[in-house]
Homo-oligomer: A and B are copies of this chain.
Amino acid sequence: MSDVAKLANVSTATVSRVLRKPETVKKATQEKVFYAIQQLDYQPNMLARHFRTNKTKSIMVVVPSLTNLVFAAMIDGIDEVATAAGYQVIFGNTKQNTGKAREYVAHLKQKQVDGIILMTVRLEQEAWAEIANRYPIVLASDALVGLKVPTVSTTNIEGAYEAVCHLIQLGHKKIAHVAGLPEIAVSRERAKGYRLALEENGITFDPALYLEGEYSIEVGRKSMKKLMSQSPKPTAVFFGNDEMAIGGIKAAKELGMRVPEDVAVIGFDDIKFAEVMDPPLTTVAQPLHEMGKKAMEILLTLMNGQKTDQDVYTIKSEFKIRDSCGAYLKN
């Protein structure tokens, strides 16, 4: 930088100004400086800038897994807004490890990132609330019920409710639900929507038709087999997410059952493979990209020192009827 200043016959302060607040510098001086910058192929040392300004212009996204299309789609939305605002996105992969997430908060304290978007919470809710009080934090997807942490989520309860009501309208009485792990708020909400739908339609909840497990193809597969080995068997299964549902359909076929004729299936998420499944998967679509964008927008206002006007931002899910639920069979 001092080389540039020397070559342009100005002070380093002026070079800095040209770079950061060009409007405060005379046009002619600007040109001299830019010329010198070009001549020397000068690259500002960002580390010095970050150190000096005590900001890094980067945020961290904490995810439980990278190979999950739901998080990937959300990160895509985050990245879009972050890039536009000049922020870098850094990864924090918890790999289902609760302690890891707290470790990442250290980055915040150590000034390595200006803010954090959490896509998973798990336990220790109060600790998070306290941290959110001191640093810019936004929750996406998962939620901290009742605590004042800005959160972006979709209509999990309503979405699940709508899906299960749809099955009931199609004549199903024995509807199973394979829920995600109860530590995850999203799992609890979808299960709540499921129970609500049963209740409002006068169907009593049957614990034998309610399973829990990790959101994965494998768990969906095993759950379907378990359900079908019982008696009475369900005639429809609402899975907590699409991966599970895809595993469930696979299992049904392995058992020689037809979907939706022998068992109707509905998922949640609408990942890109849902539509190309055979049968195409009926599912509750999460507006993942939008949710990611919104989360980043909120984080930006937070990092800007402003308060958010709400704590929970909910973006509507959309119920997508395809073939796996059997709606098109009846026609």
- Interface residues, chain A, with chain B CB atoms under 8 Å away: 43-48, 50-51, 54, 56, 58, 66-67, 69, 72-73, 75-76, 79, 83, 88-91, 93, 106-107, 109-112, 217, 246-247, 249-250, 253, 272-273, 276-278
The reply to whether A79 and B67 form a contact with Cβ atoms under 8 Å apart is no
Q: Which residue of the partner chain B has the closest CB to A253?
A: B278
In the complex, what residues of B have CB within 8 A of residue A79's CB?
66, 91, 93
The reply to whether A111 and B46 form a contact with Cβ atoms under 8 Å apart is yes
Give Cα A88 to B113, complex, Å: 11
Identical chains bound together, number: 2
Partner of A90 from the list B43, B50, B51, B88 (CB cut-off 8 Å) is: B88
Give Cα A72 to B90, complex, Å: 14
In the complex, what residues of B have CB within 8 A of residue A43's CB?
106, 109-110
Chain B nearest Cβ from A271, distance in angstroms: 9
Give Cα A247 to B51, complex, Å: 50
The reply to whether B50 and A47 form a contact with Cβ atoms under 8 Å apart is yes
In the complex, what residues of B have CB within 8 A of residue A47's CB?
47, 50-51, 54, 56, 111-112
The reply to whether A112 and B67 form a contact with Cβ atoms under 8 Å apart is no
